[in-house]
Amino acid sequence: MSHARRNALILLHFTVFLWGWTGIFGKLIHQGATQLVFTRTFIALVGLASFALFAKRSLSWRTPDLKQYALVGVLIVAHWVTFYGSIKVSTASIGAACLATSTMFTALLEPFWFHRKIRTYEVVLGAVVMGALLLMFGLETEFRLGIALGILSSLLSAWFNIVNGVLVKRDDPVRIGFYELLCVMLLAAAWLIGSGESPQLPWQLPTSDLLYQLVLGLVCTTFAFVSGIAVMKQLSPFTVVLAVNLEPVYTILIALIIWGEGERMHAGSYAGIALILSCLMMNGWLQRRERLRQEATQISPIQ
DSSP letters spanning 109-136 = HHHHHHT-PPPHHHHHHHHHHHHHHHHH
Can you tell me the distance from the alpha carbon of 98 to that of 84, in angstroms, rounded to the nearest whole number?
12
pTM score, two decimals?
0.77
Examine residue 118 and state whether it is found in any structural domain, yes or no.
yes
Q: Which domain covers residue 39, as residue numbers?
A: 7-288
* Domains held by the chain: number: 1
Examine residue 293 and state whether it is found in any structural domain, yes or no.
no
Examine residue 303 and state whether it is found in any structural domain, yes or no.
no
Examine residue 298 and state whether it is found in any structural domain, yes or no.
no
Examine residue 46 and state whether it is found in any structural domain, yes or no.
yes
Determine the Cα angle at 140 with ends 134 and 141, to 5°. 100
Determine the Cα angle at 97 with ends 277 and 103, to 5°. 60
pLDDT tens by residue, the chain, 303 residues: 678 788 888 888 898 888 888 888 888 898 988 999 999 999 999 998 988 888 788 788 777 778 888 888 899 999 988 988 888 888 877 777 777 677 777 777 777 777 777 778 877 887 887 777 777 666 666 777 888 898 899 889 888 888 877 787 787 778 888 888 899 999 999 999 999 999 999 999 999 899 999 999 898 888 887 787 778 778 876 677 677 767 777 888 888 888 876 666 667 767 777 787 787 677 767 766 776 776 676 554 443
Examine residue 299 and state whether it is found in any structural domain, yes or no.
no
Examine residue 169 and state whether it is found in any structural domain, yes or no.
yes
Q: Select from 29, 40, 11 the least CA-distant residue to 199.
A: 40
Can you tell me the distance from the alpha carbon of 215 to that of 39, in angstroms, rounded to the nearest whole number?
12
Examine residue 151 and state whether it is found in any structural domain, yes or no.
yes
Can you tell me the distance from the alpha carbon of 16 to that of 172, in angstroms, rounded to the nearest whole number?
21
